[in-house]
Amino acid sequence: MGPIGLHGGGEYLPGDERFIDALLETAVQGVAARAGSVAAGHRTDGTSAVASEPHVHVVILPTAAARGRADRTGATGAAAFERRAAATGVTARVEVALVVDGASAGDPSFAALLAGADLIHLSGGDPDIVPGLLDGSAAGQALRTAWERGAVIGGASAGAMILAEWSWTPQGGIPGLGLVHGLAVVPHYDEIRRLAWQARLDQVAPIGLGYLGLDERTGVISGDGGWQVSGEGAAYWFAPGSSAPVVGHDGEWLALTA
């Protein structure tokens, strides 16, 4: 299985460069490892680079934005990844799989895009839309095929929430895609709202879940050392039953139960 990236929202906007760069670097390392080549290097100016750079195929999946302008979300996401790839010297092909209804979820061309991706990024929006369109569909199976091959699967806000086995909505809890176990993602996190959110989640969440609060333009990416924080804010890990978080900042690692 490939790495997972969970992000607090504000994706694709100025200030989110560090997390996008981290996703791209992780995808490059995965492609290089699968090809048996040397994975990573660094420029003297501190930006990421890769020796004998492999091509990285990025697919933006704006399914959670299906009730809004998913086409605009997809285009914004593609432009953001293209900018950061150019800035960091990553050779990337960035495309959009506009999976927004039953027909597009079964579209063979979108399924082929997803199955061949090295990095799939799920945008924000409404988390309840995603399982209904991806579970049991060609697009959903293609996403899992890519992940099982080693592709990076990233999600922001609703896209991050729904990667877990359980997600929450204003109408209550719903099953997620189940790529991450043992936690619920709380995006757009801040201390003022945290206690109210945690009390509400405790009332409806399955027993034994931890909570991962993520500031906007900040996320975590799974790796051999746990989950590495990347971005301008912080990540807050509430282990199951805990009222006090372990806080991680850019470059630090968190040990989650997932």
- DSSP reduced 3-state for 26: helix
Strand 152-156, strand 166-169: pairing: unpaired
Query: Which helix (H) or strand (E) element contains residue 129?
Result: helix 129-134
The pLDDT-based confidence of 191 (bands split at 50, 70, 90) is: low
pLDDT per position as a tens digit, 10-32: 999 999 999 999 999 999 999 99
Q: Is the pLDDT of residue 137 over 60?
A: yes
- Contacts (Cβ under 8 Å, ≥6 apart) of 17: 84, 87
Contact 154, 122 (CB under 8 A): yes
Give me the pLDDT at residue 146, please. 98
State how far the Cα of 245 lies from the Cα of 258, in Å rounded to an integer: 16
Could you tell me the fold of the domain covering 4-254?
Rossmann fold (3.40.50)
Enumerate the domain spans of the chain: 4-254
The pLDDT-based confidence of 197 (bands split at 50, 70, 90) is: low
Among candidate residues 211, 214, 143, the one with its CA nearest the CA of residue 173: 211
The pLDDT-based confidence of 111 (bands split at 50, 70, 90) is: very high
Give me the pLDDT at residue 116, please. 97
pLDDT per position as a tens digit, 53-99: 679 999 999 999 999 999 999 999 999 999 999 999 999 999 999 99
Give me the pLDDT at residue 164, please. 94
Q: Is the pLDDT of residue 206 over 80?
A: no
Give me the pLDDT at residue 105, please. 98
For the chain, what's the residue count?
258
**CA gyration radius, the chain:** 17
pLDDT per position as a tens digit, 154-170: 999 999 999 999 998 87
Q: To the nearest whole percent, how much of the chain has pLDDT over 70?
A: 88
Give me the pLDDT at residue 37, please. 44
Give the mean pLDDT of the chain.
Answer: 89
State how far the Cα of 148 lies from the Cα of 200, in Å rounded to an integer: 34
